[in-house]
Structure 1
Amino acid sequence: MLDQNTTAQLKTLLERLEGPIELVATIDASDKSAKIKELVEEIAALSDLVTARFDGTNKRTPSFGVAKAGEQPRVFFAGLPMGHEFTSLILALLQTSGYAPKVSAEVLESIKGLGIKSDFDVFVSLSCHNCPDVVQALNLIAIYNPGTTATMIDGAFFQEEVEERKIMAVPMVFQDNEHIGQGRMTLEEIIAKLDTDSAAKDAEKLNAKEAFDVLIVGGGPAGNTSAIYAARKGIRTGIVAERMGGQVMDTMDIENFTSVQKTQGPKFAAEMEAHVREYGVDIMNLQRVSDIKGADETENGLVEVTLENGAKLESKTVILSTGARWREMNVPGEQEYKTRGVAYCPHCDGPLFKGKRVAVIGGGNSGVEAAIDLAGIVEHV
């Protein structure tokens, strides 16, 4: 199942395990189960701290769970976590053993403070570059919330369930069988969705902030660049963004950024944010602006920025860098059928349309690339 190079890398990574773990597989006599069994056995053979069992009772067959020795699994993989999801598997192994996740202390406390007991299902395709972030976020939530489980479901392994739930976009997330979201979501976004008091908590913190010299609205490349330029001048700078990285987060390959021959959107966005943080910029992520009052409209002569959660920020200057979004047609049914037949990423969602007739709207380079990609998957474009 694993090639020689991958096996060597995984063996090295498993040396970081903090304690013994178990892989608990639920299998039958099918070919898919044989592949799951092979993968589980190969992983277990790479470390004395990993044992394999094949007496699992998960409701999805085949699948396997990851658990601390002596405990019940909370993280499950219903399918083969290869391709983009291989990193999700590695992190699940390490973090289940007690290996500290690479998140801030504040975020980790927010995860532990959720105090939820739920079963999360996230449907993925192995070609989806947006899916791993969601899988890894839910796995982390399950690891730090006893009584909670997170299951990655490969749509190719469970096509009947995909058809039954009418899943036509990935990642798609369910909490206790109720649909709660789809598309790329960061760990912070998922925490905010699950924490019912998060908006009030955020508003209280934001209202307490002192006025900025420069406040940038938007967290894409333009907003981040503006923040760096301002902060380097030694002035108090803040960014308020609905999503740090902006639409770059939805871009797989970037090949036209001078001096960088090729990178991936999420990697580029993370490096931008890290660069901005080096200058002490106050980043207020997951915040949407609802209103702006100019300096001539306020009593103190400062620009007032109101957020959707009710918080108000003040600044001497505001820079608007609101960026771009997926192009929409604004036709009847488009919003209602998003993720139910209307999709925006042929790489992520294309495999879900296997055998179907699809239409690509758009004749530019993106439209042509989408048509070519889909032609090898679907019945007709």
Structure 2
Amino acid sequence: MLEANLKEQLKGYLANVTQPVELVASLDDSPKSAELNALLDDIASLSDKVSVVRKDDDKRKPSFMIRRAGTDIGVRFAGIPMGHEFTSLVLALLQVGGHPSKAAPELIQQIRDLDGDFAFETYFSLSCQNCPDVVQALNLMSVLNPRVSHVAIDGALFKDEVDARKVMAVPTIFLNGEPFGQGRMELEQIVAKIDSGAEAKAAAKIAKKEAFDVLIVGGGPAGAAAAIYAARKGIRTGIAAERFGGQVLDTMDIENFISVPHTEGPKLAAHLEQHVKDYDVDIMNLQKASKLVPAKTEGGLHEVVLENGASLRAKTVILSTGARWRQMNVPGEDDYRNKGVAYCPHCDGPLFKGKRVAVIGGGNSGVEAAIDLAGIVAHVTLIEFDSQLRADAVLQRKLASLPNVKIITSALTTQVHGDGQRVTGLSYKDRNSDALHQIELEGIFVQIGLVPNTEWLKDTVALSPRGEIQVDARGETSQPGIFAAGDCTTVPYKQIVIAMGEGSKASLSAFDYLIRLPAEAREVEAA
């Protein structure tokens, strides 16, 4: 089952297991059960602290529980956790086997103190790069707290169950049998959602912080670069991020990050966060800004108000809030989000196996999505507003070679149709004839570009007609002492490498601004 080099790596990891672990298998006569059985035998052969137990008592087959011998501590996988979930499997083996987690000590204690019974189920797909964070977070919680349990379920393997529970996006989480959440969630987010006092405690903690020399709002590539450059100057640096990593977390393959031939978004985001943590930076994750109050005088303190009510103050602010997927803004889109309307073909594509889908958008993202989906679904209809596709020629040639793809240009999507539970089709208008057409399908993947996360800055700093923050060559905004960088600005070409450069530049500009302040204004005011 496992290749030789992967076995060798796993054997090294399993050396960290300190307590006996049982792999309790529930199997049937299917080929997938045979495949899982081979995987479990391979794992057990690599450590004398790991053994396989055949029980066949779980309703889902194939499945297995990783259980600390002689206890009820464990996690369950329904399916075969390879692909992106192989890391989840390794971490579960280590944590059930007694190896300590790297989560913050206060977060670990918060999990142990949770009061209540929490039975989690997560539906994932092996191609989803957002799923492992959710699976790993819930696995850790079930190891730390005996009143928390978790089953990670491969949606592609248990299609009847997915259809019955109307799962049309991954990861999808159920808690005690009821929908709990969809999409990427960090460990802190999950804990905060079930710990009723978490938000108030976080707000109170933030409110006590002293003012920063530089406060970065946003934790994507631009924000991470800005934080590193500021911290290296030895000034008090803070970073408030709705989710550290930003849109990079939703990116699959990255092949144009100079000097790194290939990486994946979540991996790059983890490296960014670790690099920032190597410096003296106050990282405030899961904090969304709602208001910016510029300083009234030169050298005064700017204020950033967070959604939880707390405020942060700083001599300079760097705005790096990034962008998000643009919506079609047509009737039915919001009603059927995650019920057939999706924005990540890599994550949700496997849930539409054998079905008919549409891709909206003929740029590189849209054409790449159509190519990927064509290998999974029955048929793809690509709909482009312009009279021709805008993707690179090489991608267009590949798309045109696929037999189960239809390309429609000069088309305006006008409505998403559904039966109240899920998508059943869409309507579009032929822009040449104004004729209306309707397509029957089960899924719609929207790939029409980005919109900046700047609504909260309206009437505070100058914005372009598209909502981008207007900046000069130094990253300065229309407000003295406030800078901006990355996809939320007017700087062209929304690329990771460009965002990092712009974040670094904005940070250097902020430092230059600080050292040029009048002497009496250089010291940060006391909290």
User: What TM-score, normalized to structure 2?
Assistant: 0.69
The whole-number CA distance in structure 1 between the counterparts of 2:21 and 2:227 is 44
Aligned match of 2:402: none
2:3 aligned residue: 3
Q: Which amino acid aligns with 2:157?
A: F
The alignment status of 1:311 with 2:342, answered yes or no, reads no
Letter in 1 for 2:356: R
Please state if 1:235 is matched with 2:238: no
Other-structure match for 2:351: 352
Range with greater deviation from structure 2 (88-97 or 219-228): 219-228
| SS, match of residue 8 in structure 1 | helix
Say how many residue pairs are matched: 380
Structure 1 residue 193: Cα displacement: 1.9
**CA displacement 1:197-253 (0-9 Å, x = unmatched):** 111010110010011122111111122222223222222121111111110111122
SS at match of 2:206: helix
Amino acid at match of 2:119: D
| Distance of 1:94 and 1:174 partners within structure 2 | 25
How far 1:291 sits from its partner (Å)? Answer: 1.4
Q: Deviations over 1:21-56 (max 9, x none)?
A: 111112233333333323223322332212221125
- Alpha-carbon contact 1:357-1:380 (below 8 Å) kept: yes
Q: Secondary structure at the match of 2:323?
A: coil
Given residue 302 of structure 1, which amino acid in structure 2 is its aligned partner?
Answer: L
Question: Which stretches in structure 1 are left out of the alignment for 5+ residues?
Answer: none
- Matched residue, 1:78: 78
Give how far 1:3 is off.
2.5
Aligned residue for 2:133? 133
The worse-fitting range, judged by mean Cα deviation, of 225-234 and 210-219 is 225-234
Cα offset for 1:107?
Answer: 2.5
Cα pair 1:65 1:73 within 8 Å, conserved? no
Q: For 1:164-175, what aligned pairs fall within 5 Å after superposition?
A: 164-175=164-175
Q: Displacement of 1:135 after TM fit? A: 0.8
Partner Cα separation in structure 1 for residue 114 and residue 179 of structure 2: 19
Equivalent residue, structure 2, for 1:188? 188
Residues 135-192 of structure 1 show CA distances to partners (whole Å, capped at 9, x for unaligned) of 1111000001103211110112211001111111111111111111111222222222
Contact 1:220 1:247 in 2 (8 A): yes
Letter in 2 for 1:214: V
Post-superposition shift, 1:377? 1.3
Structure 1 CA distance for aligned equivalents of residues 209 and 124 of structure 2: 40
CA RMSD of aligned residues (A): 1.9
Structure-to-structure mapping, 1:39-54, within 5 angstroms: 39-54=39-54
Deviation at 1:279, TM superposition (A): 2.7
- Opposite residue 197 of structure 1, the aligned amino acid is G
**Per-residue deviation, 1:73:** 5.3
Structure 2 CA distance for partners of 1:274 and 1:30, relative to 1, 3 Å: closer
Letter in 2 for 1:232: R
8 Å contact 1:24–1:73 — kept in the other structure?
A: no
User: Which structure 2 residues correspond to residues 279-318 of structure 1 after superposition, within 5 A?
Assistant: 279-296=279-296, 301-318=300-317
- Aligned partners of 1:115 and 1:145 also within 8 Å: no
**1:116/1:145 contact within 8 Å kept:** no
Equivalent-residue separation in structure 2 for 1:320 and 1:360 (angstroms): 32
Q: Distance in 1 between matches of 2:86 and 2:276?
A: 30
SS of 2:303 mapped into structure 1: strand
In the aligned structure 2, how far is the partner of 1:194 from the partner of 1:45?
A: 39
Q: Distance in 1 between matches of 2:8 and 2:233?
A: 48
Which residue of structure 1 aligns with residue 23 of structure 2? 23
- Contact kept, 8 Å, 2:292 with 2:304, in 1: the verdict is yes
Aligned to 1:375: 374
d(CA) in 1 for partners of 2:236, 2:334: 40
In structure 1, distance between residues paired with 2:295 and 2:245: 28
Tell me the distance in 1 between the aligned counterparts of 2:73 and 2:159. Answer: 24
Quick one: which amino acid aligns to residue 19 of structure 1?
A: Q
Inter-partner Cα distance in structure 1 for 2:237 and 2:10: 42
The separation in 2 between residues aligned to 1:333 and 1:376, in whole angstroms, is: 27
Which residue matches 2:143? 143
Letter in 1 for 2:190: I
Where do 5+ consecutive residues of structure 2 fail to align? 381-527
Q: Which amino acid in structure 2 is aligned with residue 375 of structure 1?
A: A
Q: After alignment, is 180-189 or 89-98 more displaced?
A: 180-189
- The structure with the greater share of residues assigned to strand is 2
